[in-house]
Chain A
Amino acid sequence: MGVATRLLTSQRPLFEGACDFIVLRGADGDLGVLPSHAPLLTWLKPGEVMLRRGEREEYYFLEDGYLEVLPERVLIMAQRGDRSDAIDLAEAEGQLRSAEEALTRASGSSEQETAELEGAVAVAAARLEAAQLQRRRARD
C-alpha cells in the first residue's frame, strides 16, 4: 500500500496517485520517502524526483520546490517543473550555455544580481543533468 502523493507546479499538476517510494534532492542531500514517514518539511534543490509505483518509475525535473511529508500523504510543490523525458537535450545545453555567458558578462555587478545569475546556472546545469540521465535510462 503506497502513500498518497501529489506533485504540483505553479503551471499545472504533474502527478497524483499512490507511490511506494519517492526519491528527491532535499536541502540536506538526497532523501527517500516510504509510506508512514515522519512529518518532514524541506525545500528541494533543482533536480530530479523519482516516483516509484509498483514496477514503474517516473522521473520529473523540478525548480524551486518544497516537500511536505505527513504519515498519510506527500505533497511536492514546485514553481516550475516537467517530466524529465519532456526536456530537450540540445535546448537544455543551450540554456546552460547562455546562463553561463550571462554570469560571465555580469562580473562586477551587484551581489544580489550575481547570486541570481549563479542560481540560474545551477538550475540550468541540473536540468541538463536530468536530460542526460533520462537519455541514459531510455537507452538501458
Chain B
Amino acid sequence: MATLRDIRRHIRAVRNIEQITRAMQMVAAAKMRRAQARVVAVRPYAHAMDEVARDVAKIGKEYHHPFLTPREEGRGLLILVTSDRGLAGSLNVNTMRAAHSHMLRAFGPGYEVVAIGRKGVEFAERMPVRLVHHRVGLPDRVEMEMLRPAVDRATKAYLDGDVRGIVLAYSRFKNLLTQVPTVQQLVPVPPADADEGPRTEGDYIYEPDGQAVLERFMPTYLLSQVFHAVVEGQASFYGAQMIAMQNASSSAGDVIRELSLTANKVRQAGITRELMEIIGGAEALQAARR
C-alpha cells in the first residue's frame, strides 16, 4: 500500500497539472473570443464571394472559365485546413475523417493534398495521398495574401489538367461548444440552386469582358474561401481547446479529491494503529503490575 508521503506527492503533481490546464483554458478562452469576432466579420465577405461564383456558374454563358467546366479525367485535390497544435480534443480528427471519406467517395484514393496546418501535414504523410504543398505557422491575425501560394498551387494543378476537382475541408465554428467538420466543393463551382441566385435568364454584362473579369475573379474567389476556412478553423481550435482544457481541469479536480480521501484514510489508519499500540502497551503494563 502507498505511504502517506507518496500520496501527498501524487496530489501535488496533479495539482500542478491542474494549474497548467486551467491557465491554458483561460488563454484559449481569450483567444477564442477574439477569433470568434473575426469569424463573424469575415463570413459575410466569404459568403458573398461564394454566392457570386455560384451565380456566375448558374447564368454565365459568355465565357466558360475552366473553374466552371466539369471534367471527366483527373484526380481530386483537397485543401485541408487544420490546426498546428493539438490538445483540442477530436477537432482535427473529425475534420480529416470527413474530408478523407468525401475524397474517397468523390475521387477515389491517391488524391492530392494542400495542407494548411501541421496536423494536416502529418495526416497526409501517414495516408496514401500526395502532399503537394503545405503551410504551417500562420499567425492568429492571418491575412488573405498569406494563403496565396497555397491557393496558387491548387489553381495550377487544376489548370494544368492534373486534377478535376478542388475540395476544401475545415472545421466550422458554430458556437463555442460545437465545431462542425465541413467539406465544401470549390471547383468546379457548384451552380446556385434553381430557387437561389439571380432570377434573370440573361447573362451578366461584363466589364471589360467575360474572360477578363472571370480570370481575375475566380482566383480571388478561391482565396476568399480558403481564407474564410482558416479563420473558422482558428476559432474552432480555440473553442475546442478551451473545452478540452476545461475537461482536463475538472478531471484533475476529481483525481485530487479521490487522492485526498485516500490520504485521509491512510492517515486515519496510521493514527488508529498508533492508538492501538499505545493502548495495547498500557494494558500489557497493567497486566504485568498485577
Contacts and interface: CB of A to CB of B under 8 A. Distances in A.
A79 B216 CA distance: 13
Interface residues of A, number: 26
Interface in A26-67: 26-28, 31, 38-43, 64, 66
A39 B208 contact: no
Given A26-B207, A27-B208, A70-B198, A41 B52 contact: yes
A75 B144 contact: no
Interface of A is mostly: strand
A111 B5 CA distance: 73
Interface stretch (B41-49, B156-164, B177-185, B268-276): B41-49
A66 B220 contact: yes
A43 B205 contact: no
A75 B48 CA distance: 7
A9 B45 CA distance: 6
B207 A8 contact: no
B93 interface: no
Interface string A65-100: 010101110010101000000000000000000000
A40 B205 contact: yes
Contacts of B52: 41, 66, 68, 75, 77
B42 A10 contact: yes
A74 B44 CA distance: 14
Contacts of A27: 207-208, 212-213
A28 B208 CA distance: 6
Given A10-B144, A26-B207, A42-B213, A77 B48 contact: yes
Contacts of A119: none
A64 B144 CA distance: 12
29 contacts: A8-B45, A10-B144, A11-B41, A11-B42, A12-B42, A13-B45, A27-B208, A27-B213, A28-B208, A38-B205, A39-B202, A39-B203, A39-B204, A39-B205, A40-B204, A41-B204, A41-B213, A41-B217, A42-B213, A43-B213, A66-B49, A66-B52, A66-B217, A66-B220, A68-B204, A70-B200, A71-B200, A75-B52, A77-B45
Interface of A: 6, 8-13, 26-28, 31, 38-43, 64, 66, 68, 70-72, 75, 77, 79
